[in-house]
Amino acid sequence: MKPFTTLLLTCILIVLNVPLCKAQHTELKPHEAAMQLWVEGKPFLMIGGELGNSSATCPEDIERIFPKLKRIGLNTVLVPAYWELTEPEENKWDFALTDKVLAEARKNGLKVVFLWFGAWKNSMSCYAPSWVKQDYKRFPRARTQAGKPLEIVSAFSSNLLEADRKAFGQWMKHLKETDQDQGTVIMVQVENEIGMLEDARDYSNEANRAFRQDVPQQLVEFLQQHQKALHPSLLQKWEAQGCPQQGDWQEMFGKDLYTDEIFMAWHYASYVEQMAQTARSIYNLPLYVNAAMNSRGRKPGEYPSAGPLAHLMDIWHCAAPSIDLLAPDLYDSGFKDWVKQYHCPTNPLFIPEIKLEDNDGVRAFYAFGEHDALGFSPFSIEDYTDSAQAPLAQSYHTLQQLTPLITRYQGSGKMRGLLFDRQDKEKVLNFEKLTLTCRHYFTLPWDARAKQDNWPEGGGIVIQTNEKEFIVAGRGIVIEFATDSEARQQQAARTALGEDGFAAAGSGKESSDKTPNFRGTRCGLESVEQVKVGPDGTLTPIRRLNGDQTHQGRHVRIEVDSFKILRVRLYEYK
């Protein structure tokens, strides 16, 4: 473009007040039936880890940790941003730690998700600045039903919202000024694991007044419009009252702890919505909130009541529409059930925290393959080894390779995830005209470790790339392929095989001439190759697998000790 033409266009844009800035670096976009996070113009999987709470308070620690994260295989790090250190004195700002995180992330090729540790962190107000903590008259505390003040500043304090919102806004403004061109920060978490403890709701005077008021019309209309899609527990409570169209919280939902929790969830979410609106008005990055789980049979108040839990998802979506997703923090058993609750048409799955374990590697495969997850992030990731042979490092480097294939097939119905342990060791997957019987590797007869009580979890991703070709990736899995007709006919007649591929034990019986004739075609393995995946999704063969490695053409398998990517080509015969 000629200089004069460029200058003329610039002047026109200025007159029309069109901003001369780069396109937004990060956004959420639908793809098939999935939601994807797009970064720098292409879909992105957050292969991540979250730092421990105090690991980003020291510049030297940040310098030491970030290169290690790159070696483990991360592309994204989740890092706290601390209100108490950002505004140590009221209206005096310090962004040095934020700047240090950005500098080290860029140096190591990492994206950043910042976690705003503001008014609440794990329910408590421990990251509020001293000037907030000490002035309990200006910033009143939440109270138990017995009147005991808690180390939790009340969500009903307008002074708290004003102060938190101001600090968050100043910090977001700084992010925009220092990172908008680079796009290092791809998402922001608002607060951390919000929730009431000891009681299901706040019993401060302001909270009690709000509890006696009618349920906001905004929520009543939401219940009416979404009645058929409401979470069963919320719908049951409303229906038990006769689906009233007006009334206070107990008139609408009954008198129990769970009504107290619904009330509190509305007000926590309303607070967060105002924080989110502030962020959006300054720098429009994707926003989310995270939840501590209601596990182990605990009741509201025994777990952090009223957080963005699955059974409260409707309340949060209604009161905080500016939040893009609700995310679970997973530290208990039942991984499959938790992620299923958080993956739904109104909520894409992101796992910002999970207990740091070697098994996280296969869980990440499962989350991406079965639930189209946006990201996966073990907690206190800096404590993990950066050995290339460590399970999580193997998993993450393999997932980095697989990213172009995973993002291509998200939401298509042609990609599935597997996750097995000793109790849950088999799953049948149905693709078009094909049945895949998938099992844990230790279901095979030859590995002595199968006799152990605890099996390492096995899992992976299965992608149908065309009618007779599959990508199988992960560790600790074995898969048999069959045509649908073959699978139906052989299910009842399946024979256990020994290590040699022959019957494990003789039956002593002659075959019957009354056996029904086999009908249809069978599916065989034409070829199995270990491959590597290029940045554009192209496959390069590493080695051909056959003979003992496919049990003479009976199955495809990946051992429990390493992660691999296989390309499987099938054929049919009569």
**Cα distance between residue 459 and residue 515, in whole Å:** 37
pLDDT score recorded for residue 13: 36
The model's pLDDT over 55-67, given as tens digits with 9 standing for 90+, comes to 999 999 999 999 9
Number of domains the chain is built from:
2
3-state secondary structure of 115: strand
Provide the H-helix boundaries in 313-456: 313-319, 335-342, 360-371, 391-409
Q: 110 and 69 in contact (C-beta within 8 Å)?
A: yes
For residue 135, how far is the Cα from the chain centroid?
37
Q: Residue 474: which CATH number?
A: 2.60.220.20
Residue 349 belongs to domain spanning: 18-403
Express the helix, strand and coil content of the chain in percent, nearest 5 each: 35, 30, 35
Average pLDDT of the segment spanning 504-517: 64
| Of 513, 431, 434, 443, residue with least CA distance to 478 | 443
Per-residue pLDDT, 18: 36
Whether 160 maps to a domain, the answer reads yes
Q: Are residues 123 and 233 in the same domain?
A: yes
C-beta atoms surrounding 105 within 10 Å: 23
* Domain's final residue, options 403, 428, 458: 403
Question: What is the mean pLDDT of the segment spanning 108-137?
Answer: 98
pLDDT of 20 > 60? The answer is no
Q: What is the pLDDT of residues 167-219, one digit of tens each?
A: 999 999 999 999 999 999 999 999 999 999 999 999 999 999 999 999 999 99
pLDDT digits (tens, 9 = 90+) for 365-381: 999 999 999 999 999 99
Q: Does 172 lie in the same domain as 148? A: yes
Cα end-to-end distance, the chain, whole Å: 65
pLDDT given at position 4: 38
The pLDDT > 70 percentage for the chain reads 91
Are 358 and 456 contacting, i.e. CB atoms less than 8 angstroms apart?
yes
CA distances from 352 to 51, 173, 285, 355 (A): 11, 24, 16, 10
Write out pLDDT tens, residues 319-358. 999 999 999 999 999 999 999 999 999 999 999 999 999 9
Task: Give me the mean pLDDT over the 252-278 stretch.
Answer: 98
Q: Is residue 510 part of a domain?
A: no
Q: Are residues 84 and 199 in the same domain?
A: yes
pLDDT for res 495: 61
Residues 239 and 209 in one domain: yes
Sheet with 469-475: list strands edge to edge.
415-420, 458-466, 469-475, 564-573, 522-533, 539-545
Q: Are residues 303 and 206 located together in one domain of the fold?
A: yes
Mean pLDDT of the chain: 93
pTM score? 0.93
Residues 537 and 462 in one domain: yes
52: phi then psi, degrees, rounded to nearest 5: -60, 160
Most confident range (mean pLDDT) of 76-90, 474-488, 508-522 is: 76-90
Q: Which of 379, 403, 427 is the last residue of a domain?
A: 403
Structure token digits, residue 312: 């409260």
Instruction: State pLDDT tens for residues 419-461.
Output: 999 999 999 999 989 999 999 999 998 888 999 888 999 999 9
* Predicted pLDDT at 282: 98
Q: CA angle, corner 262, sides to 256 and 264, nearest 5?
A: 105
Give the integer Cα–Cα distance in Å for 37 and 30. Answer: 9
What does the pLDDT read at residue 524? 96
Residues 262, 177 share a domain: yes
As a whole number, mean pLDDT of residues 479-508 equals 75
Asked whether the predicted pLDDT for residue 150 surpasses 80, the reply is yes
Indicate whether 2 pLDDT > 60.
no
Give the CATH number of the domain where residue 305 resides. 3.20.20.80
pLDDT at 555: 97
Domain match, 327 and 447 both: no
pLDDT the model gives residue 405: 98
Residue 492 pLDDT: 56
- 503 assigned to some structural domain: no
The per-residue pLDDT for 490 is 76
- Same domain? For 394 and 440 the reply is no
Q: Which pLDDT score, from 0 to 100, does residue 496 have?
A: 62
- pLDDT band for 12, please (50, 70, 90 cuts): very low
What is the Cα–Cα distance from 406 to 37, expressed in whole angstroms? 13
What residues contact residue 228 under an 8 Å CB cut-off, 6+ apart?
A: none
Say whether pLDDT at 224 is over 80.
yes
Q: Is residue 511 part of a domain?
A: no
**Average pLDDT rounded to a whole number, residues 480-485:** 93
- β-strand partners of 543: 530
Q: How many CA atoms lie within 13 A of 510 on its CB side?
A: 3
Higher-pLDDT residue of 504, 569? 569
Band (518; pLDDT cuts 50, 70, 90): confident
pLDDT of the residue at 512: 57
Name, in order, each residue with C-beta under 8 angstroms of 321's C-beta and a sequence gap of 6 or more: 273
Is there a single domain that holds both residue 360 and residue 213? yes
CA 189 – CA 203 distance, rounded (Å): 27
Angle of CA points 376, 377, 379, to nearest 5°: 155
Task: Quote the tokens at residue 473.
Answer: 């990736």
Please say if the pLDDT value at position 54 is more than 90. Answer: yes
- Is 80 exceeded by the pLDDT of residue 15? no
Domain membership flag for residue 366: yes
Sheet with 42-44, side-by-side order of all strands: 26-31, 34-39, 42-44
Same domain, 362 and 488: no
With respect to residue 461, please indicate whether it lies within any of the assigned structural domains.
yes
Residue 441, in any domain of the structure? yes
As a whole number of angstroms, the distance between CA 145 and CA 260 comes to: 11
Is residue 10 situated within a structural domain? no
pLDDT score recorded for residue 501: 66
Whether residue 435 sits in one domain with residue 340: no
Last residue of a domain, one of 349, 374, 403: 403
Does the structure show a pLDDT above 70 at 290?
yes
